[in-house]
Chains A and B, each alone.
Chain A
């Protein structure tokens, strides 16, 4: 027993020593940037795509000579789709691995949770698809100086859905079925309801479920009684697929469904292709048929032998965005990079041009893309920005 523990201690000491040396050497020649992705758990599909997209961009940048003459080293941390694991992962990133910037994640809850850790370590945080307003502002509306994002926000998205449903689709009676335990879903619901009622529409039914639920028939039976003409689903693709199937089982074949940016995944076609066909609208940040974005898809398919989710393009652009900010900062230092991010103006990325609004830390005037499901494809319908 004693022998074994001695051996274990010996191994630990040696490995710690080696790790120290390795880290020391690496630091000189590379710039470490953390990336919080959720590659296990409920939303793994998106996380994996985002990670792979980022890997492609990292390779391109390093082949072209890196950033400030050093290699860009993107280090991925798995947040497993929840706040607790994300906090642990990001603590490791900023305290042990000493990353100079933290990218990600695509989920609002975990991104909000890791914000304070980044701020106290003076590491800027750039979220990819975390759309909740509290990512960049606290509850009282004060700006979080170290947090940024590249996607549009939920209030904006809620407006988008409301305006599109009311003005373009001409729907006046909406039902909402949302996840009460999820920041994204409940936030989006509130913003949608507020805007839709302002416009003169009626929300005839607002029902909720909890993360992990798979049976929505009790809620749908109630919605059916209320004769809503549009069903708003501010949820993830899995819930949307299940809801569409169960709605059909309850005889609600024709109700039009609309969702925010989490409502789309290529898996939807496998999960609920025919139930969603022709009556499902989803809001996205960009469309794959955009000629700027298409090459990312080709590279992705070549490298990983699978079709990418939209997150792949975002992951790709995130890496280019941070590389650009580090270049403008002139040194790999958290504070300098933060200032550079705040001053971002018309940064040309593949999916959009990003101008960060220094007052909100959100991108300025990003239009939403509306896709519709037709013939087992997501078809581009409209480019749409709400008019205030």
Chain B
């Protein structure tokens, strides 16, 4: 029982970080119908911004989180304006977006290697007590913190999508961006807002990853797993992204603990393939013609 519970906790803590990243993938996919692989750059931006704010200004942790989120959000909006808008304006096919986004992610990783350097950097110690004991279980304080903040942001996002005017526009755009534009919504503005949200969440995830692990130029690779989680849950569906992420985190922990650590990824991916064979659009996805 203890073993199972400990692994569930481990899985949930990984899953909640996946969720913050996967939401961004799904959100952008739902509007622009392409997978934004530049998402890893937003994450890196958050991780490094938070790190330098803490190191140089020795600010409080919440403040550094805030600045990291803003930094990533602004970067996301800029990338959209510089790289994607020209493609959109020419009406080029989805493939161009994907190629551009991959290019950005490679550029950004190497940009960091060239400017900041390739070495691993550690965040300063943020809290003295690192874990709490519940009977025989150990829960890391940072995980609780991260989970609470993640849940708070997901609730806020869900309120924004469900209850506000912007949210209605976003939902409408996910059905048909062109028609929304014809209805008098400023679609450029709307897309910027969507990128801002995706960037903010990625920045949050980035700083949490940096604190829990370390900061290094290849930190963005974790977005691959989160992207898979988003596909697993159904690309374009926000609830699906959260569900897929939590499931993926739990699966990874349980398989490592109870089956085989070496076979972890094989098992996880076989399960994913199985799910996609039965439900090609993912757990909660909507049937669409072309999935990229």
Q: A42-B218, A221-B7, A271-B122 in contact; A214/B213 too (CB < 8 A)? A: yes
Which residue of the partner chain A has the closest CB to B142? A249
What is the interface residue range for chain B against chain A?
A: 35 or more
- List 6 A-B pairs, minimum CB-CB distance, nearest first: A44-B118, A218-B256, A214-B213, A207-B261, A218-B253, A217-B10
**CA separation between A180 and B130, bound complex, in Å?**
29
Known contacts A221-B10, A242-B213, A248-B130; decide if A207 and B120 are in contact (CB<8 Å).
no
Known A-B contacts A242-B214, A271-B214; the reply to A251 vs B122 at CB < 8 A is no
Given contacts A40-B113, A221-B6, contact A250 B131 (CB under 8 A): yes
CB neighbours (8 Å) of A41 from chain B are 118, 218
Complex Cα distance, B130 from A272, in Å, reads 13
Q: What is the distance, in angstroms, from A262's C-beta to the closest C-beta of chain B?
A: 14
Residue pair A40, B214 in contact (C-beta under 8 Å): no
Is A271 touching B130 in the complex (CB atoms < 8 A)? no
A-B contact count (CB 8 A): 89
Taking a contact as CB atoms under 8 Å apart, the answer to whether A271 and B14 are in contact is: no
Given contacts A41-B118, A267-B119, A271-B214, could you give 13 more A-B pairs where the C-beta distance is less than 8 Å?
A: A40-B113, A40-B118, A44-B113, A180-B261, A208-B262, A210-B264, A217-B13, A218-B261, A222-B3, A225-B2, A248-B131, A250-B138, A267-B122
Query: Which residues of B have CB within 8 Å of A250?
Result: 6, 131, 138
Residues of chain A contacted by B221 (CB below 8 angstroms) = 212
The answer, yes or no, to whether B290 is at the interface (CB within 8 Å) is: no
Q: Does A241 contact B (CB under 8 A)?
A: yes
Over the window 118-133 of chain B, the binary record of Cβ atoms lying under 8 Å from chain A Cβ atoms (1 yes, 0 no) is 1111100000001101
Q: Is the interface of B mostly helix, strand, loop or mixed?
A: helix
B240 at the interface (CB under 8 A from A): no
Contact at A218–B222, with CB atoms within 8 Å? no
A242 to B212, CA, bound (A): 9
- In Å, the complex CA distance between A267 and B122 comes to 9
The reply to whether B14 and A215 contact each other, CB–CB distance below 8 Å, is yes
Contacts of B118 in A (CB 8 A): 39-41, 44-45
Asked if residues B113 and A251 are in contact (CB atoms below 8 Å), the reply is no
Query: Are the CB atoms of A218 and B131 closer together than 8 Å?
Result: no
**Which listed residue (B10, B113, B254, B261) contacts A209, Cβ 8 A?**
B261
Closest to A213 in B: B264
Contact bitstring B95-123, A, C-beta under 8 A = 1, else 0? 00000000000000000010001111110
Q: B residues within 8 A CB of A267?
A: 119-120, 122
Interface flags for B3-18 (1: CB within 8 Å of A; 0: not) read 1001100110110000
Q: Which of A45, A219, A225, A271 is close to B261, meaning CB atoms less than 8 Å apart?
A: A219
Interface string of B131-161 (1 = CB under 8 A from A): 1010000101000000000000000000000
Question: Do B122 and A210 have beta carbons less than 8 Å apart?
Answer: no
A-B contact pairs, 13 of them (CB 8 A): A40-B113, A40-B118, A44-B118, A45-B120, A180-B261, A214-B214, A215-B10, A218-B11, A219-B257, A222-B256, A238-B216, A251-B133, A251-B138
> Which residues of A are found within 8 Å of B213, using beta-carbon distances?
214-215, 242
Any B CB within 8 A of the CB of A63 = no
Is there an interface contact between B257 and A218, defined as CB atoms closer than 8 Å? yes
Most buried by B among A215, A219, A248: A215
Q: How far is the CA of A221 from the CA of B140 in the complex (A)?
A: 13
A388 touches B (CB below 8 Å): no
- The proximity string for A residues 191-217 relative to B, scoring 1 for CB distances below 8 Å and 0 otherwise, is 000000000000000011110101101
Residue interface mask B181-216, A partner, CB < 8 A = 1: 000000000000000000000000000010011101
In the complex, which residues of chain B have a beta carbon less than 8 angstroms from the beta carbon of A241? 120, 122, 214
Q: Which residues of A contact B3 (CB under 8 A)?
A: 221-222, 225
**Nearest B residue to A238, CB-CB:** B120
- Report if A270 contacts B (CB, 8 A): yes
Q: Which residues of the partner chain A approach B133 to less than 8 Å between Cβ atoms?
A: 251
Q: Which residue of B lies closest to A44 (CB)?
A: B118
Given contacts A249-B130, A249-B131, contact A218 B10 (CB under 8 A): yes
A residues near B121, Cβ cutoff 8 Å: 270
Pick the most buried of A207, A208, A249: most chain B CB atoms within 10 A of its CB: A249
Task: Answer whether residue B265 sits at the interface, using C-beta atoms and an 8 A cutoff.
Answer: yes
A55 to B23, CA, bound (A): 48
Residues of B within 8 A of A215 (CB): 10, 14, 212-213
Q: How far is the CB of B127 from chain A (nearest CB, A)?
A: 12
1/0 contact trace for A266-300 toward B, CB 8 Å? 01001110000000000000000000000000000
Q: Is the CB of A218 within 8 A of B138?
A: no
The answer to whether the Cβ of B252 comes within 8 Å of any Cβ in the partner chain is yes
A249–B140 contact, CB under 8 A?
yes
A305-B87 Cα distance, complex, nearest whole Å: 46
Q: B14 — which chain A residues lie within 8 A by C-beta?
A: 215
Closest chain-A Cβ to B278's Cβ sits at a distance in Å of: 27
- The residues of B that contact A180 with a CB separation of less than 8 Å are 261-262
| A23, B147: Cα distance in complex, Å | 60
- The interface residues of chain A lying within 8 Å CB-to-CB of B264 are 210
Among B11, B218, B257, chain A packs the most CB atoms within 10 A around the CB of B257
Q: Which residue of A lies closest to B117 (CB)?
A: A44
- Nearest-neighbor residue (CB-CB) of B209 within chain A: A214
Q: Tell me the bound Cα distance from A221 to B50 in angstroms.
A: 30
Please measure, in the bound complex, the distance between the C-alpha atom of A214 and the C-alpha atom of B215, giving whole angstroms: 11
CB-based nearest A residue for B113 = A40
Interface residues of B in 1-40 (CB under 8 A from A): 2-3, 6-7, 10-11, 13-14
CA gap between A42 and B13 in the complex, in Å = 25
Which of B222, B252, B261 has the most A CB atoms < 10 Å from its CB? B261
